[in-house]
Amino acid sequence: MDWVDIKSLKANQLKDTFVTAVFSLIVENESGVLARVIGLFSGRGYNIESLTVAPIEKDGRKSRINILTSGTAMVINQIKEQLNRQVPVYQVINLDEQGPYVARELALIKVVSTGPERTEALNLADAFRAQVVDASVSSLVFELTGKTEKIDAFVDLLRPLGLVELSRTGIAAISRGVQTI
């Protein structure tokens, strides 16, 4: 994913430069925290393109939320500060600002077809290294993990081949190298 270093932008560019950002938040795993985060986005008119959340500690006390969003650099900075001031939020980083990172998502894709279409779907799955996790005489479920663009491409190719249902996780992301949140 290409990224713009917000910190390098001049003041006047902050208002005009449109960027995407992946935020990773460590939050206290208490009721209402997700509602608080989502409410912030809807209440202030920010975009959420995808959102994932799951506990990351054994005792389940902390969760990590990954949010893919976009906006002007000024808005992206605002989002960060607005998230940061929420009481149950430990930490917020904008991975796009921090440096290179890995972002992956998982998709489960159901295809209902037979004959050459089914064969073609299986060939594509091979090419994309998707797993077949369920199969019946007339249906297949593929599991594919990868970058969003890769999943988009796979899904597009399957559409004419009997794609009937799609379930995607949205991205989980983590910085490259030794850097941590």
Question: Where do contacts with another protein occur on this chain (CB under 8 A)?
Answer: 11-12, 14-15, 27-28, 31-32, 35-36, 39, 43, 74, 77-78, 81-82, 84-85, 87-90
Q: Which is nearer to another protein, 11 or 137 (CB)?
A: 11
The residue type found at 98 is Q
Q: Which is nearer to another protein, 14 or 122 (CB)?
A: 14
Question: How near is the Cβ of 28 to another protein at its closest, in Å?
Answer: 5
- Burial bucket for residue 52 (CB in 10 Å: 0-12, 13-18, 19+): middle
Question: How near is the Cβ of 72 to another protein at its closest, in Å?
Answer: 11
Q: Which is nearer to another protein, 66 or 77 (CB)?
A: 77
Q: Where are the alpha helices (DSSP H) in the chain?
A: 11-16, 33-44, 73-84, 95-98, 115-128, 148-158
Contact predicate 138/114, CB 8 Å: yes
Question: How near is the Cβ of 130 to another protein at its closest, in Å?
Answer: 38
Distance of alpha carbon 60 from alpha carbon 20, whole angstroms: 30
